[in-house]
Amino acid sequence: MNTTPPEAPLALPPEGAPLADRQSRIRGGRLESSAWRTPVAIVAAAIALAFVPSLGLPAFYDSLLYLILHWIVLATSWNILSGYTGYFSFGHGAFFGAGLYTSATLMAKADWPFLWTLPAAALVACVLGVAVGAIVFRVKGIRGEVFALLSLAVTFVVGTIIVNTPIDGGNGVSLAAVAVPRIGPTPSSTFYLLALAAAALTLLVAWGIAQSKLGAGLFAIHDDEDAAEVMGVPTFRYKLVALGVSCALAGLAGGIHALFLNYVTVGEVFTITVPLTVVLMSVLGGTRHWAGPALGAVAITLLLYSFTAANYAVAGKAMVGAVLIAAILFMPDGILPRIQRALARHRPAPATPLAVEPPPVPLTAVAPGEVLLKASGLAKHFRGIQALAGVDVEVRRGEILGLLGPNGSGKSTFINVVTGHYLPSGGSVVFEGQELARREAHCIARAGISRTYQIPRPFGQQSVLDNVALAAMFGGGVATPDAARREAMAWLAFAGLQDKANARPDALNLHQRKFLELARALASRPRLVLLDEVLCGLTPSEIDDAVALVRRIRDQGSTVVFVEHVMRAVMALTDRVLVFDQGRLLAEGPAAEVMQRPEVVTAYLGQPHPASADAAPVMVAPVLERARA
């Protein structure tokens, strides 16, 4: 389906939402983004701070500012992977240390000039991170605590290798003979200016990613990685890119820090101190915002300094621990989101999005009856349990096909296999002439297949509008977040949810969340939509609304596969039905005819008692009569 929804006037979601972390306004029915103000402000602030050394302050202040900026780079770079995707890493010290030892080794043993070593430090850390990620991210079960512990192990493995090789040899690396380049008037000001440049670069990168299609995909991975993949987000590649960027920036910080320390040892570098500190800074500031870790870095560094300067270093560390506990208990989102919410209470409420026309009928020609999707011998086994036993299914273009059967018969498994959520154990799936079996789920989504879930799975930390915009970007191929949000408004209007565009999914009732699933599925411009029990849990009047919406989906040019137990909806919508039982295809044909077959009645109601065997086939008649009514 090649549908191009009209450009819709829209209001923006609350400030701080992943796709809308920008200042914007509506003019003439179009979104006008003033997001350029943020990078300009970062660059302007960096230029202004570059004049600090000219003030002639004591070297102590240069060093203090250097440390603040140093931790801003480390915390913000950590957040690009861990905050954006939810893959909490305790291995950031490994990549920081890799960059530090790369720079130290090149200066001490190869006589490289200091500045020349910095790109090499970033590159080595990036290559190390990508190599680890290329292995770890291939294993779906490695996430959460497992990923955190595995990343921590990388720190100690790298440290052990370095200390037992000529890189360090157990004696450390001295850089006392290496000259500090004269970038600033003093050596301390030189380190300050280098850290300032690195911090400005890191903040620009973090902001740019948050505003981009890459950032939208990373935030979707954070909320629900499996749903993001099925919607078209290339999760493996995006995580690898985020890890590579994060590690490169950490390596750059390490390269600068090597000469600042002047003497580096494994025992001081490859410890748990760096990862724990950056985690604390990011959590305190707010991991969902690009600037949150920078705010946390400033707060924690100044807190530690204030206690150290007063000869209470141990008390300072205890206070940092108390701050972390308080942040987790009372500000789990961080300081910055809380400030944003406080400011939002004093601003006018977001405007209600204006009504828009529904998307137009697709322009491509449709040949009803042509085979759109053909599954041959499709099988799926789960450790000996046969969920699909080599079924053959044809879906014809332009039809509404019902998939029926008792619970556990294989209907949802069929959808999961076709959309790539599960890899098939055997068989093939051909869609518009191309083989899709064993292809990654995001490739299947981009081929023109979308789905809903039996239990709605919206991205909970994003607005309703952003949920649909994500599908438009990744499944529908829309290039930019702003363009995707304009298109998403049309699909929300199509589903009757335009008034909820600025709400979070947890503010919707079940009926609205179901319709959000439909809008999100349609935003990818699919030619085949797989609906998995979209009527489950709805009231009779809500079912009527949903039935009307499914008809409109077919009228827009999409073919619909409809898994449902509500028989009156099946009778009203489907052109034909397939009945599954124990992973096999039991019957096929018009619903009224199929539901009268004895084998279908047996599958639903069980084997009749011999005394009532003659009456069993008519037990379903009252159901059909009520469905027709």
pLDDT of 482 reads 82
Contact, 272 vs 154, CB < 8 A?
no
Is the pLDDT reported for residue 366 higher than 90?
no
Q: What is the pLDDT of residues 551-595, one digit of tens each?
A: 888 888 889 998 988 888 888 888 999 999 888 998 899 988 888
Where does the pLDDT of residue 313 fall: very low under 50, low under 70, confident under 90, or very high at 90 and above? low
Please, which residues have CB within 8 angstroms of residue 480's CB and are 6 or more apart in sequence?
213, 473
| Residue of 193, 197, 170, 181 lying closest to 259 (CA atoms) | 181
Query: What whole-number distance in Å separates Cα of residue 62 and Cα of residue 357?
Result: 59
Q: What is the pLDDT of residues 53-87, one digit of tens each?
A: 999 889 989 999 999 999 999 999 999 999 999 99
Where does the pLDDT of residue 406 fall: very low under 50, low under 70, confident under 90, or very high at 90 and above? confident
Q: What is the pLDDT of residues 98-115, one digit of tens each?
A: 999 999 999 999 999 999
Is the pLDDT reported for residue 628 higher than 60?
no
Kindly list the structural domains of the chain, giving each domain's residue range(s) and its CATH number in brackets, ordered by start: 38-344 (1.10.3470), 364-448+526-586 (3.40.50.300), 461-525 (no CATH)
Where does the pLDDT of residue 452 fall: very low under 50, low under 70, confident under 90, or very high at 90 and above? very high
Query: What whole-number distance in Å separates Cα of residue 497 and Cα of residue 511?
Result: 11
Is the pLDDT reported for residue 46 higher than 60?
yes
Query: What whole-number distance in Å separates Cα of residue 378 and Cα of residue 436?
Result: 12
More confident call, 602 vs 608 = 602
pLDDT of 352 reads 47
Where does residue 583 fall: left (phi above 0), alpha (psi -120 to 50 degrees), or beta otherwise? left
pLDDT of 618 reads 47
* Beta bridge mates, 561: 401, 530
Strands 576-581 and 400-404: parallel
pLDDT of 111 reads 92
Query: How many Cβ atoms are within 10 Å of 23's Cβ, its own excluded?
Result: 14
pLDDT of 520 reads 93
Where does the pLDDT of residue 94 fall: very low under 50, low under 70, confident under 90, or very high at 90 and above? very high
Share of the chain above pLDDT 70, in %: 86
* Angle (CA) 99 101 106, round 5°: 100
> Across the chain, which distance is largest between two alpha carbons, in Å?
103
Lowest mean pLDDT among 271-285, 332-346, 439-453, 498-512: 332-346
Q: Please provide the average confidence, as pLDDT, over all residues in the chain.
A: 84
Where does residue 432 fall: left (phi above 0), alpha (psi -120 to 50 degrees), or beta otherwise? left
Q: What is the pLDDT of residues 328-340, one digit of tens each?
A: 777 778 888 888 7
Is the pLDDT reported for residue 416 higher than 60?
yes
pLDDT of 9 reads 35
Q: Which of 307-311, 497-501, 622-626 is predicted most confidently?
A: 497-501
More confident call, 333 vs 17 = 333
Contact, 538 vs 510, CB < 8 A?
yes
Contact, 377 vs 390, CB < 8 A?
yes
> Average pLDDT in the 178-199 region?
94
Where does the pLDDT of residue 149 fall: very low under 50, low under 70, confident under 90, or very high at 90 and above? confident
Q: What is the pLDDT of residues 507-556, one digit of tens each?
A: 999 989 999 999 999 999 999 999 998 888 888 888 888 888 888 888 88
What separation in angstroms does the CA of 206 have from each of 6, 84, 125, 298, 511? 32, 10, 18, 17, 37
Where does the pLDDT of residue 183 fall: very low under 50, low under 70, confident under 90, or very high at 90 and above? very high
pLDDT of 199 reads 97
| Residue of 281, 232, 257, 351 lying closest to 76 (CA atoms) | 281
Where does the pLDDT of residue 239 fall: very low under 50, low under 70, confident under 90, or very high at 90 and above? very high
